[in-house]
Amino acid sequence: MTGLKSKQKKGLSRIQEKNRARIIDAALAEFSRHGYSGTTIDKIAASAGMSKSNLLYYFSSKSAIYEAALAHILDVWLDPLRGLNVDNDPAEELSHYIHQKMKMSAELPAESRLFANEVLQGAPRIRPVLENDLKRLIDEKTKVIQSWIDQGRIKAIDPVHLIFSIWSMTQHYADFEPQIVALTGKSLKDADFRDTAESTVLHLVLSGLGLKRRTGQDA
Amino acid sequence: MTGLKSKQKKGLSRIQEKNRARIIDAALAEFSRHGYSGTTIDKIAASAGMSKSNLLYYFSSKSAIYEAALAHILDVWLDPLRGLNVDNDPAEELSHYIHQKMKMSAELPAESRLFANEVLQGAPRIRPVLENDLKRLIDEKTKVIQSWIDQGRIKAIDPVHLIFSIWSMTQHYADFEPQIVALTGKSLKDADFRDTAESTVLHLVLSGLGLKRRTGQDA
DNA sequence: GTCTATACCCGGATAGAC
DNA sequence: GTCTATCCGGGTATAGAC
């Protein structure tokens, strides 16, 4: 973690800890929908069930809340990719990764939107994290994919663009959910829809790599 | 066009026409980067080279500018999909579509971001357009894909999810550009990078449909 | 540690001179 | 058609009582 410190809970009381957590949750929901400028401290406070001034006691400023929310999601956000293991079966590893990403789109859509929002606006606050932590992670994982290619276990493809494709296809279901609902009447909350979505992504990726889909799809 | 009227230029003078166009351009750039609440009329005016009050002479309110900008991009935005023709070769049609979408990400990133921003925030203003115009278009084009499947010209796939995949993979390069730059040091402005990106998307889609890539890639 | 009151500023929008 | 001046609401942040 470079730009944003993920946790600095030194000596916080139970109630402080709990209130901070409630604020972060509320902030996540608000920021992810309305962007930074579009959300007010008042709204966050209301959503967290406390007064505006009380909230300002826990966080000194609006941007402090925003950065805390951002830092809070980063770890869980980057986690699935860390699991890609070069020693395992490529089809299994990638199926698992896609499944994890789709699960996050389904269960943590606000996190996805907040991240999208931040990047869409030029990533002013998490640029350092992207350039350092995430860059290192990507360099490591593209090597994993490249070695699968070198070993002849998957067809040749550009590893970075493959990862971008997986990111975009899976996150799309969270970030563009209103459009998806408008067009299909369904979302990832619908189990069948979610299965079809995941199957489609899985199929595109695996067949692009010359792999067959495994029978049990959630590795 | 249902929710937003695309053009209502009744009897505008040359200078009015020109100033309105300049405002829309400036607004597009600002809104796409900072979102609705994050952009100020002042900024738009400055970027358009006129005073705030003068701008307010042309558009009565901030939201009027926003809606005009949104309406302005919608036609060009939905245009590529309209071209999908059931009578032509699927590989050629889809290659062409992907090429068009990638071209738009490269040449009209602000348009892409504005659209993404709007949808991300719940599509409050273009929901009607999505539910009507775009819905009709999608229904029509999924039928095209489905008939290719029925004719045995491409492998079975869910047509809607296929379209979502193409949208997400191509638009990703515009919407998440800051992240892509942070990770690769390159963007679609780099010709080689753009070729590799497009090839990867093309490869994933075509191999997923059991098709071979055509030699000339821009159909 | 939590609340009320308020200072302060910024941005949207209007009035009216030129 | 363009400008200056200004009003006004809303939002951040602080001071200080409890």
Apex A129 CA angle, A43 and A106, nearest 5:
55
- B48 in Cβ contact with B57 (< 8 Å): no
Q: Is B105 on the interface with A (CB under 8 A)?
A: no
**Which member of B35, B134, B171 has the closest CB to residue A121?**
B35
The contacts of residue A65 (CB under 8 Å, 6+ apart) are A23, A24, A27, A41, A44, A55, A59
**Which member of A120, A197, A208 has the closest CB to residue B117?**
A120
Task: Give how many domains chain B has, as a whole number.
Answer: 2
Amino acid B9: pLDDT: 47
In a domain, A111, yes or no: yes
- Mark whether A181 and A102 lie in a shared domain: yes
B41 touches strand C (CB under 7 A): yes
Q: Indicate which of A39, A126, A168 best probes the interface with B, i.e. most B CBs within 10 Å of its own CB.
A: A168
In a domain, B41, yes or no: yes
- Mark whether A89 and A29 lie in a shared domain: no
- Mark whether A104 and A81 lie in a shared domain: yes
Q: Using the Cα atoms of residue A138, residue A4, residue A115 and residue B197 in order, give the sign of their dihedral.
A: negative
The contacts of residue B154 (CB under 8 Å, 6+ apart) are B90, B145, B148, B209, B210, B211
- Mark whether B184 and B78 lie in a shared domain: yes
Alpha-carbon gap, residue B74 to B110, rounded angstroms: 13
Q: How far is residue A149 from each of residues A4, A144, A156, B45, B158, measured CA to CA in Å? A: 35, 9, 6, 52, 28
The answer to whether the Cβ–Cβ distance between A35 and B33 falls below 8 Å is no
pLDDT band at A194 (very low <50, low <70, confident <90, very high): very high
Q: Is A162 on the interface with B (CB under 8 A)?
A: yes
- Mark whether B88 and B150 lie in a shared domain: yes
Residues in chain B: 219
Q: Among residues 175-194 of chain B, which lie with CB inside 8 Å of chain A?
A: 175-176, 178-180, 182-184
Residue A40 has pLDDT above 90, yes or no: yes
Beta-carbon-side half-sphere exposure of residue B212 (alpha carbons within 13 Å) = 3
- Mark whether B78 and B138 lie in a shared domain: yes
- Mark whether A161 and A98 lie in a shared domain: yes
Q: B158 — alpha (psi -120 to 50), left (phi > 0) or beta?
A: beta
Angstrom distance, A48 CA to D10 C1': 21
Average pLDDT, chain A: 92
The contacts of residue A161 (CB under 8 Å, 6+ apart) are B196, B197, B200, B201
In a domain, A67, yes or no: no
The answer to whether the Cβ–Cβ distance between A200 and B157 falls below 8 Å is yes
Residue B214 has pLDDT above 90, yes or no: no
Beta-carbon-side half-sphere exposure of residue A105 (alpha carbons within 13 Å) = 26
Angstrom distance, B72 CA to D3 C1': 29
Amino acid A219: pLDDT: 42
Q: Which residues of A touch B135 (CB under 8 A)?
A: 182-183
The answer to whether the Cβ–Cβ distance between B164 and A171 falls below 8 Å is no
**Which member of B121, B196, B200 has the closest CB to residue A35?**
B121
Q: Is B200 on the interface with A (CB under 8 A)?
A: yes
Q: What is the pLDDT of residues B112-157, one digit of tens each?
A: 999 999 999 999 999 999 999 999 999 999 999 999 999 999 999 9
CATH at residue A85: 1.10.357.10
SS (H, E, C) B158-201: CHHHHHHHHHHHHHHHHHCHHHHHHHHCCCCCCHHHHHHHHHHH
Alpha-carbon gap, residue B83 to A21, rounded angstroms: 50
- Mark whether A25 and A119 lie in a shared domain: no
Beta-carbon-side half-sphere exposure of residue A47 (alpha carbons within 13 Å) = 18
**Three-state DSSP state, A47:** helix
Q: Can you say how many angstroms the Cα of residue A170 is from the centroid of all Cα atoms in its chain?
A: 10
In chain A, where does DSSP find H-type helix? 14-38, 41-48, 52-58, 62-82, 90-107, 109-120, 127-129, 135-150, 159-175, 177-184, 191-208
- Mark whether A104 and A155 lie in a shared domain: yes
In a domain, B218, yes or no: no
Query: For residue B198, what is the nearest residue in chain A, using CA coordinates?
Result: A161
In a domain, B102, yes or no: yes
Residue B109 has pLDDT above 80, yes or no: yes
Q: How far is residue B34 from each of residues A29, A124, B31, measured CA to CA in Å? A: 19, 11, 5
Average pLDDT, chain B: 93
Amino acid A11: pLDDT: 63
Q: What is the pLDDT of residues B57-99, one digit of tens each?
A: 999 999 999 999 999 999 999 999 999 999 999 999 999 999 9
- Claim: this prediction has a pTM higher than 0.75: yes
- A24 in Cβ contact with A8 (< 8 Å): no
In a domain, B18, yes or no: yes
- Mark whether A181 and A91 lie in a shared domain: yes
CATH at residue A50: 1.10.10.60
- B28 in Cβ contact with B69 (< 8 Å): yes
**Closest by alpha carbon to B144, among B96, B93, B75, B102?**
B93
In a domain, B32, yes or no: yes
Strand D positions with any atom < 7 Å from protein CB?
1-5, 10-16
- Amino acid residing at A199: S
Amino acid A130: pLDDT: 97
Q: A155: domain range? A: 73-208
In a domain, B8, yes or no: no
Q: What is the pLDDT of residues A53-62, one digit of tens each?
A: 999 999 999 9
Amino acid A16: pLDDT: 80
Amino acid B147: pLDDT: 98
The answer to whether the Cβ–Cβ distance between A161 and B135 falls below 8 Å is no
Q: Is B63 on the interface with A (CB under 8 A)?
A: no
**Closest by alpha carbon to B157, among B144, B170, B169, B174?**
B144
- Mark whether B118 and B173 lie in a shared domain: yes
**Which member of B171, B183, B196 has the closest CB to residue A158?**
B196
Q: Can you say how many angstroms the Cα of residue B201 is from the centroid of all Cα atoms in its chain?
A: 17
- Mark whether B122 and B160 lie in a shared domain: yes
